[in-house]
Amino acid sequence: MFRKRPPPEEERRVRANDREYNEKFQYASNCIMTSKYNIITFLPVNLFEQFQEVANTYFLFLLILQLIPQISSLSWFTTIVPLALVLSITAVKDATDDYFRHKSDNQVNNRQSQVLIRGSLQNEKWMNVRVGDIIKLENNQFVAADLLLLSSTEPHGLCYIETAELDGETNMKVRQSVSVTSELGDPNNLATFDGEVVCEPPNNKLDRFCGTLYWRDSKYGLTNQNMLLRGCVLRNTEACYGLVIFAGPDTKLMQNSGRTKFKRTSIDRLMNTLVLWIFGFLVCMGVILAVGNAVWEREVGSLFQSYLPWDPPVDNFLFSAFLSFWSYVIILNTVVPISLYVSVEVIRLGHSYFINWDRQMFCSQFNTAAEARTTTLNEELGQVEYIFSDKTGTLTQNIMSFNKCSINGQAYGEVTDPLEPPPKRLDFTPFNPLADPDFCFYDDTLLESVKVGDLHTHEFFRLLSLCHTVMSEEKSEGELVYKAQSPDEGALVTAARNFGFVFRSRTPGTITITEMGRPVTYTLLAILDFNNIRKRMSVIVRNPEGRIRLYCKGADTLLFERLHPCNQELMNITSDHLNEYAADGLRTLALAYRDLSEEEWEAWSESHRCAGKATDCREDRLAAAYEQIEQDMMLLGATAIEDKLQEGVPETIAILSLANIKIWVLTGDKQETAVNIGYSCKMLTDDMTEVFIISGHTVQSVRQELRRARERMIEVSRGRDGGKEGGVEGWEGACYNGNGFGGGQAGATGGGGGGEKQLQCPPPPGTPPPPPPPSPPPPLPPLPPQPPSTLMDNISGEFALVINGHSLAHALEADMEAEFVLTACACKAVICCRVTPLQKALVVELIKKHKKAVTLAIGDGANDVSMIKSAHIGVGISGQEGIQAVLASDYSFSQFRFLQRLLLVHGRWSYLRMCRFLCYFFYKNFAFTMVHFWFGFFCGFSAQTVYDQYFITLYNIVYTSLPVLAMGIFDQDVPEQRSLEYPKLYEPGQLNLLFNKREFFICIAQGIYTSVVLFFVPYAVLSDATQSTGEPLADYQTFAVTTATALVIVVSVQIALDTGFWTVINHVFVWGSLGCYFTIMFAMHSQTLFIIFPNQFHFVGSAQSTLLQPVVWLTIALATVICIVPVLAFRFLKLDLKPQLSDTVRYTQLVRQKKRKPVGRSMGGVRGGVGSVSEGRLGARGSSRRSGYAFAHQEGFGELITSGKNMRLSSLALATFASRHSSSWIDTLRKKKHAHTHTPPSASGECSPAPSYVSGSVPPLSTSSSVLGGSQDTPVEEGTHTPPVQSAQVDPVPSTHTPPPSAPASEAACVDVVSPTSVRCPGGDSPGGWTLSLGMVQEALFGWKGIAARTSGSSSPGPPSVAKETSNTE
Amino acid sequence: MAKEKANSGPLARRPDNSAFKQQRLPAWSPMLTANTVLPFFYCMAVLCMLLGVWLLVTVQNTQELKVSEPEFSQIYLTDALCASALMISILFLSQGNVFFYYGLRNFHQNLRRYMDSRDDAQMVGRKKNLKSPSTYCEPFEKDENGLPIAPCGAVANSIFNDSFTLVYHGSKGSTIHVPLYRSGLTWYTDKNIKYRNPKVDNLTLAQVFEGTAKPLYWHKPVYELDPHNPDNNGFINEDLIVWMREAAFPNFKKLYGILNRVSEPFTEGLPVGNYSIEISYNFPVQYFRGRKEVVLTTVTWFGGQNHFLPIAYLVTGGLILLLAVILTVIWWKFGKDGKNMKE
């Protein structure tokens, strides 16, 4: 804070191994400090911070006022004691927080790392690492700072990192060093490395780095692909060396962990408004009393001057009135009690602890309990109206499990009869020692079928074990680890493994599997890789007997078209099965094979080569070649993979939506996957009236689609209201969901889906520039006037909206916002797919802005951080590896299902308690303070207090604080089970019913009424009364004691009425407070204290002489009765005539307890809701909704395999070969680039097709045909003889032509800019995880040539327009 | 629980299963049902009415006679001397103790600065404070000579210093001075703790108070308030103590004396007959538009005559009863057996 800041860096220059040089620039060291104070600065800084709070300053101001004798109507300690208490409580809390920050800072700063100093590796603490140091990282170590990767133990300077802590992605990413440095293998070489890096100044962009390495008179471009960022973990790499570029606070991790936005709850805001009003009220009362004082002093006081002359500075009644105003401000300040804020904090803290302590939110799997990371938002949990949820990792576990399959028309895995006890899990070990023990399958008929040697079953699993791009790693015999590109693939291969077809290993040209215990090696002839248009992948293998066979798996719709006609019957059966699977929300794939004769193969591989070498439209030609061979296939069956939902997700969503909470899923996933998950977690149901899909590419089309959706809603709801339902079907242009493939391939889906609902999405615009409305809707009147929003509010019928990322970009534009909100909020469920993190935040902001509703965002990854931060409440899913979301969140727990407990139990209670607390708090302070106001009319407006000053000091902090705190912390209206059983109980929070301005005024009115009673009853009684010994009771001290006692008793009775849940603690606090009051009063009025401080304790003896009087007690009793009876009657009436649901539930509970026997579900209506939801779903089978196919990955991986690039040297016999391959592979990719840019391959001649002598028996052509193989005219033989091309060939001209998208968002926005025909974004249309990692791999390999910008786009939801364009051109 | 914490297994971080932490403390959740509220209302109504009746009966047994200023200010006007006499007649025997009060109307003893203008440390006999009174006593802290005033402050300065004599005009024309106790008028704590004379140490009270001045409006210094009775002199003079106990409201009465029933004909109380009150008029009230009054009353266990309390109880009881009936009707018609509790 006090450190002088160096001027902002323009660029950063770092020279390796040269500390002196680097010190010139005063770069930040690697020591991080997140703490705010140290021992010396704590007090001043903390006090300074605290007095920035308006309330604290106000009380300080009061304190100063009280020091002016002419004004001081109260002793200074009446303010300073509570103020000191409040300040010290806050200070203690701040100090504790800071202590833990210190601790974690120390822990991080003292981590060890190995630094290369003067040629030798030395252990250093992290905090001592300097910019320019070279440090060595070992496997599984955290990266200490932002490093430039120099070399690693892996080939090509590759290394793998896990960036979970940084961005939440749990899969591994590849980083590669610049080629020149990757050769600097050992410390000695590195010690002499003196390259200088010039790069951008520190920033917080995780996916961008731009710099240049100058070394030995050469320049090397540096990109993000060369960087290891702090917070990452090194994986699968023995060790690597890196040069520290950014350290400590300059690292991207720290730059990203900015102070989280300070969040306030709506109650907070309301409270602040109310406090301001109360200030206004206070001033009004002050003015009234001052005017009164002026009048009184003029009329009466002036006459009374001889007995009481004015104080010296006062010379007329006006000045006296002025002083009186301030005096009354001091006296009446207790309407805004100083303890309000601190009490609120204490209550929230208590609620936070209850969340932390909740066993039912503890997840034993991850050993994590729920955590309230922010203690100030609890009551807002009871007011949530919108939940924005991430999908992967939040709703789903990101675990795919092989769930069901259909082999040759026979369905397996269908044993989930809910009535029977769950069947036993199959034990594969006796049958297959190589089985994966974690694999679950329950249907033993399938295993039997394998055992008896059913040919189809064997072929089925053989296909699964061959047709994939999984890599295996066998650490020891039988201990197989599969590294799958996508979890679906892993699940399939694992399934095959357990059923006896164990994929063991692969080389670029072979696949070795263990078939029923017998090792078999297949020659891999070609991989016809997956891409997003093909939606299928195939392999062509030659088995040891020499037979060539093509195995294909892919989306059923596409596969079925390519089957041999003789499969018709089987296809129908399988199709039925697929429909069933789809209805269950499973992800399906159809499997087929085709036998190829040697001649067919030869012919095809020739044409394939031709296609590969083509210079223009190579992609399309290759696709056509693939198309050619993938024909006349024989159907084997289908698989169904379950994208495992987190436990209890559908139930939670059902309950939350019953609680009137709208759930929006914002995911980076593909539309099909997202919709699929929407169905499986019951957000979307088949009994929904309609599901709209918005996937337009231009503003106009999005606007049109939104309007149509809305019109349709109105139409349907009108139709429904009019009793004629279902009359309108197949409404033109309303782009509702036909099947899983949603808005894209109008042509492609037509045939296969067998869907009843036809997909009627217009082919996406975004094709040739002026987008002609395709499949033209009936000429709509020039966009009908917007339906009034009132109409939209009472839409009946359940609708859902699915919107794509690119449409969302348009929908979020300023002029579309309102329209989007209008449409989306009329829907029960909204799914936004392919959204960027920024868009997630924008959507949240949109709802915050337009709906004034409380929003909650829940997610697990770094891509959710922005939305977690911008929502009112952010929830992070912990226990997974990523920690970014948790760090940014306000609450964290490890299972989505805990959300229901957090909201419906804790949130509801918190809200209830806070509201009751506030109501009571304002009440009791008004009752307390307003008595002074009334007394003012009797004491000449002289600002005389009614009570003893000690009573005023202690009233708020001792006599009445604990019971209300106990209520605020422990109160429950209904038990926790009930609030889950009756989600409707949540509604009062959303509607703000329990504490709002109206409730506030009621409390205030009640408080004022009480004060009137408390003043005038004792006044009327005491002014005439005497003791039985004749002494009058009308003296001031008796009056003060009587009123104070009556006040304490009345507010205690009131809290007793307000408390709905009397625990021991409540009893202790309520009775204790009363006891405390009397004890303290007797002590204060005791002789002892008076003898010591006669001027301070002049109430001596008042307590006993007053409280011994029956009249006094009769007065107190009368006042209490008059205060309480109306309240009691009012509450009783309210309960009797207009009971809230909570009252009803409570009543039922009470009755039930009394009868001691379960009275059936008397709340049929409410309960029924839950039931009907699930039933409705079970009955909704057989819809046309065809599930998403289980492909989540991306093309290009096949090539990676056939090139051998990603295989460990150890696992690959022919290392040299690998390098040669890799060169060709890289080149192919580069050429692909060139193809994009319409430039002819610059070095096609050098590019050797991959030879495959490796596998011996294979004809030379085989591998070259793999995927995008860079096939050339050059004969194969010639190719193999060409010397390997240096992989490090530097292409001086970066071949990018797209504007380098710096952030995903801009990429999305670029969609229209990029001419679709010219760009083929590699796998631009595939979802999250793998996309990114593969993108990284590619980037790693050619990114440093300066093409990084191009591929970085692939990590973001790419432009599907491109893909679709291609399909059109087909 | 300790065991649980000790093990470091997968449940090591599981929160304790205590009723407190799980918010499952046994609790009583009362509810305002008709079964509890309506009987409560009826009970309250009956209770309040009974109390009211009882109090009313009690209050009826007390007698009070109030004479206010206009009646004796006329006498004051005719008699220019600062003494006056007032004829009153008591028409029935006042049983038991009879208390004699003086009352003031529109005299604000409850002004903030007035109430602060006293020094309890001085009045409790601290010598230091005797000589240097608290600044709160301004401007009645020191006299024009700079001598500290004892007792200082506006309260003491404005002491009510009229004196009253009650004279009984017997049936035979004889006049008897009604004997009044001028002590026992204060709280025990006031007389014995709160007000003490400075330590005497063989000195007379006059010597102790030497070096102090009498309050400006006083006719005689504090040590001469009751020269005959050392227990009623100085700061522990009961008239002073009574005055120093400030009244809460501008209209108040303070105890002046209690009927001394040792001699005939006052052993039973004040007999029926004519009385006159002789007043030495020292305390002017006209200029602040105040009024004086004299009150004679008898008391019961409950204190003096006070009609407000019994009537308030009766009215409250009646209202509660009314409310209870209304609530019962409403409940009977609309909410019986939790009718509304069912959705």
> Is A1272 in a helix, a strand, or coil?
coil
Q: Does position A769 have pLDDT exceeding 70, yes or no?
A: no
pLDDT at A928 over 80: yes
**Alpha-carbon distance A295 to A310, whole Å?**
15
What's the ipTM? 0.94
Q: Which of A309, A1104, A1143 sits opposite B139 (nearest CB)?
A: A309
Among residues A133, A390, A643, A864, which one is catalytic? A390
Task: For residue B251, give the chain A residue with the closest CA.
Answer: A1023
Query: What's the pLDDT at A1228?
Result: 44
- In terms of Cβ atoms closer than 10 Å to its own Cβ (0-12, 13-18, 19+), residue A1286 is exposed
Q: Which range, of A629-633, A969-973, A1255-1259, averages the lowest pLDDT?
A: A1255-1259
Task: Of A943-947, A1125-1129, B218-222, give the lowest mean pLDDT range.
Answer: B218-222
Q: Provide the chain A residues 1030-1059 that lie in CB contact (below 8 A) with chain B.
A: 1030-1040
pLDDT at position A1142, please?
Answer: 82
Does A1132 contact B at CB distance below 8 Å? yes
The residue written with tokens 């899913």 in the block is A877
Is residue B49 pLDDT above 80, yes or no?
A: yes
What is the per-residue pLDDT for A1020? 92
For A1148, which of B51, B319, B341 is closest by C-beta distance?
B341
Say yes or no to pLDDT of B145 above 50: yes
Is A939's pLDDT higher than 70? yes
Token pair 């093909």 is found at A534
A68 close to B (CB below 8 A): no
How far off is chain B from A449, nearest CA to CA, in Å? 39
* pLDDT higher than threshold 50 for residue A725: no
Rounded to whole angstroms, how far apart are CA atoms A1019 and A270? 36
Residue A285 clears pLDDT 70, i.e. is over it: yes
Please name the residue of chain B whose CA is at the shortest distance from the CA of residue A1118: B313
pLDDT digits 0-9 by tens, A1064-1078: 999 999 999 999 999
Q: Could you say which DSSP state residue A304 is in?
A: G
Query: Cβ A1128–B32 below 8 Å, yes or no?
Result: yes
Give the closest-approach CA distance of B247 to chain A in angstroms: 4
Q: CA nearest A366: which of A881, A863, A860? A: A881
Which residues 926-945 of A are in CB contact (within 8 Å) with B? 938-940, 942-945
Q: Which residues contact A1097 (CB under 8 A, 6 or more apart)?
A: A1084, A1085, A1086, A1089, A1090
* Contact between A876 and A850 (Cβ < 8 Å): no
Distances (CA, A) of B11 to A317, A368, A373, B137, B271: 74, 9, 21, 71, 90
- DSSP three-state, residue B312: helix
Q: How far is CA A826 from CA A208, A615, A854, A891, in A?
A: 39, 51, 17, 29
pLDDT at A1171 over 80: no
Residue B117 · residue B155 · CB < 8 Å: yes
C-alpha distance from B173 to closest chain A C-alpha (Å): 31
Residues of A within 8 A of B319 (CB-CB) are 1125
Environment class of residue A662 by beta-carbon count within 10 Å: exposed (0-12), middle (13-18) or buried (19+)?
Answer: buried
* Residue B322 structure tokens: 């009314």
Judge whether A643 counts as a catalytic residue.
no
Q: Are residues B309 and A1028, on separate chains, in Cβ contact within 8 Å?
A: no
Q: Which residues of B touch A359 (CB under 8 A)?
A: 14-17, 21-22
Its sign, for the CA torsion A1137, A1140, A1141, A1144, is negative
The domain limits of chain B are 63-299
pLDDT at A786: 45
pLDDT single digits (tens) A789-830: 455 555 666 788 888 888 888 888 888 888 888 888 888 889
pLDDT at A223: 83
**Distance between CA A978 and CA A998 in Å, rounded?**
28
CB contacts, 8 Å: B244 with chain A: none
Q: How far apart are the first and last CA of chain A?
A: 63
CA distance A955 to chain B (A): 21
State the average pLDDT for chain A. 76
How big is the A-B interface in CB pairs under 8 Å? 299
Alpha helix ranges (H) inside A1093-1109: 1102-1107
**Do A245 and A210 touch, CB atoms closer than 8 A?**
no
User: How far apart, in whole angstroms, are the C-alpha atoms of residue A240 and residue A234?
Assistant: 9
Q: Do the beta carbons of residue A496 and residue A502 sit within 8 Å? A: yes
- Interface probe for B, chosen from A302, A906, A1088, A1098 (most Cβ of B below 10 Å), is A1098
- The mean pLDDT value for A399-414 works out to 84
pLDDT at B197: 87
> Does B288 sit within 8 Å of A1136, measured CB to CB?
no
* Lowest mean per-residue pLDDT among A321-335, A930-944, A1156-1170, B158-172: A1156-1170
What is the per-residue pLDDT for A880? 63
| Residues in chain A closer than 8 A to B12 (CB atoms) | 367
Using pLDDT thresholds of 50, 70 and 90, give the confidence band for residue A915. very high
Orientation of helix B34-60 relative to helix B308-330, angle to 10° = 160
Inter-chain residue contact B343 with A1121, CB threshold 8 Å: no
With a CB cutoff of 8 Å and minimum separation 6, the contacts of A960 are A924, A1048, A1051, A1052, A1055, A1073
Q: Where is mean pLDDT largest: A856-860, A1027-1031, A1270-1274, B14-18?
A: A856-860
Say if the Cβ atoms of B17 and A359 lie within 8 Å.
yes
Closest to A1283 measured CA to CA, from A1247, A1257, A1319 = A1247
For residue range B122-141, what is the model confidence (pLDDT) as tens digits?
Answer: 888 888 888 888 888 888 88
Q: How far is B274 from chain A (nearest CA, A)?
A: 23
Backbone angles phi, psi at A1301, to 5 degrees: -75, 120
pLDDT band at A1000 (very low <50, low <70, confident <90, very high): very high
Q: Report the pLDDT value the prediction gives residue A32, as an integer from 0 to 100.
A: 80
The most confident of the ranges A147-156, A503-512, A998-1007, A1162-1171 is A998-1007
Chain B nearest C-alpha distance from A1036 (Å): 4
By Cβ distance, the residue of B17, B27, B302 closest to A1110 is B302
CA nearest to A971, candidates B30, B14, B326, B115? B30
* φ/ψ (deg, to 5) at B12: -60, -35
What's residue A696's pLDDT? Answer: 83
More confident residue, A1370 or B68: B68
Q: Please check the confidence at residue A1355 and state whether its pLDDT lies above 60.
A: no
Helix H or strand E segment including A388: strand A384-389
Interface probe for A, chosen from B32, B180, B242 (most Cβ of A below 10 Å), is B32
pLDDT range class, residue B313, cuts 50, 70, 90: very high
Higher per-residue pLDDT: A644 or A924: A924
Give me the pLDDT at residue A171, please. 59
Residues B226, B237 contacting (CB under 8 angstroms): yes
Q: What is the pLDDT of residues A1003-1062, one digit of tens each?
A: 999 999 999 999 999 999 998 888 888 888 889 999 999 999 999 999 999 999 999 899
Q: Which DSSP symbol is given to A1241?
A: P
Q: What is the mean pLDDT of residues A277-286?
A: 92
Report how far apart, in Å, the C-alpha atoms of A939 and of each of A296, A934, B45 are: 10, 9, 35
pLDDT value at residue A228: 87
Residue A1096 has pLDDT above 90, yes or no: no
Q: Kindly determine whether residue B26 and residue A1063, on different chains, have CB atoms separated by under 8 Å.
A: yes
Q: Is the pLDDT of residue A937 over 90?
A: yes
Q: Is the pLDDT of residue A1163 over 80?
A: no
Contact B27 A1115 (CB under 8 A): no
Q: A1024, B258: Cβ pair inside 8 Å? A: no
**pLDDT value at position A833?**
84
Please compute the mean of the pLDDT values over residues B305-328 and round it to a whole number: 92
By residue count, chain A amounts to: 1370
pLDDT by residue (tens digit) across A30-87? 888 777 788 888 889 888 888 877 778 888 888 888 888 778 878 778 788 888 888 8
Give start and end residues of each alpha helix (H) in A803-907.
Answer: 805-811, 817-825, 837-851, 865-870, 884-888, 898-900
Instruction: Name which of B11, B13, B249 is nearest A1019 (Cβ-Cβ).
Output: B249
CB A1142 within 8 A of CB A1131: no
Cα dist from A355 to A97, A991, B9, B13, whole Å: 18, 24, 22, 14
Q: How confident is the model at residue A1360 (pLDDT cuts 50, 70, 90)?
A: very low
Give me the residue from B23, B112, B186 closest to A942, CB to CB.
B112
Eight-class DSSP state of A514: E
pLDDT tens digits, B64-111: 888 776 655 544 444 444 455 666 766 666 677 888 899 998 898 889
Residue A803 CB neighbours (<10 A): 32
pLDDT of residue B267: 82
Q: 């009112």: which residue's tokens?
A: A872
Contacts 24+ apart (CB under 8 A), A92-100: A93/A345, A93/A349, A94/A36, A94/A37, A94/A46, A94/A49, A95/A37, A95/A42, A95/A46, A98/A35, A98/A36, A98/A37, A98/A42
Predicted confidence at residue A28, as pLDDT, reads 82
Return the SS3 of A407. strand
Least Cα separation, residue A646 to chain B (angstroms): 19
**Residue A1366's pLDDT band (cuts 50, 70, 90):** very low
